[in-house]
Amino acid sequence: MRERSLILIVDDEPQIQRFLGHALTAAGYDTCLAGNGAEALAQIAAQEPDLVILDLGLPDMNGKEVIERLRHRSDLPVIVLSAHDQEMEKIMALDLGANDFVAKPFGIGELLARLRANLRPRRVARSDVARPDVVRQGGLVIDMGAHLVSRDGEQLRLTPKEFDLLAALASNGGRVMTHHKLLQRVWGPAHVDDVPYLRVFIGQLRQKLEPDPAKPALILTEPGVGYRWAQPEESLP
């Protein structure tokens, strides 16, 4: 098992490759490069990286096609790089299985934080530790098997749908869950366009879970895209 995580950078712009390569190396990661989708898939097969940073605008195939092909054979974490005017492309990429996104232009600090968040669950999986049935964050305890939620030892009353929504978010900590994905998972395919309905339930969950619902620290909004369950360090006061 290698000591340093290997990150595959997929971008057709050499200056972006160089910038990310230097920044990630300085942060303690090893890197490999691909300039198009075919090279990316070949590098994934040959190098077995720990995470992929993927630009959506590739010369030979759309980044969404790379994700779709990858998801047929691997759960390798993928962080998408997207321009601000590519919102629908970004949402489609997340629905196809991308784990997270960073909008261009981006700060390296934000990218590194997203990278760490998406590598963490993979390290747990590689250590052969089973995915926990209980999620603990601060004073909040979510027992997935028993369908129970408590805060500071006091049980919270959630409706079945509220619990299903909470479980969908908390079991994917750090991962962006799109409106479409959450609605399909909790309410089924007939409700994938009912975004206002989802917002109502998110509001109800925040009222019950968040110390300050007006400043959510657990259920974070990704504007125009969906929601994300905060990593433990993000939810600290």
Return the biggest CA–CA distance within the chain.
55
Contact in structure between 167 and 130 (CB atoms under 8 Å): no
Q: What is the pLDDT of residue 127?
A: 40
The pLDDT value given to residue 126: 46
- pLDDT tens digits along 145-176: 888 999 888 999 998 899 999 999 998 888 88
Please tell me whether the overall predicted TM-score, pTM, comes out greater than 0.75 for this model.
no
Sequence-separated (6 or more) residues with CB below 8 Å from residue 106? 81
Q: What percent of the chain has pLDDT over 70?
A: 91
* Residue 27: predicted pLDDT: 95
Query: In the chain, what are the domains?
Result: 6-126 (3.40.50.2300), 134-229 (1.10.10.10)
Distance (Å, whole) CA 63 – CA 67: 6
| H-run or E-run covering 211 | none
Distance between CA 36 and CA 32 in Å, rounded?
13
The helix or strand, by DSSP H or E, that contains position 98, with its residue range, turns out to be none
Q: 70-124 pLDDT, tens per residue?
A: 988 888 999 999 876 667 888 888 888 898 888 888 889 989 988 988 887 555 4
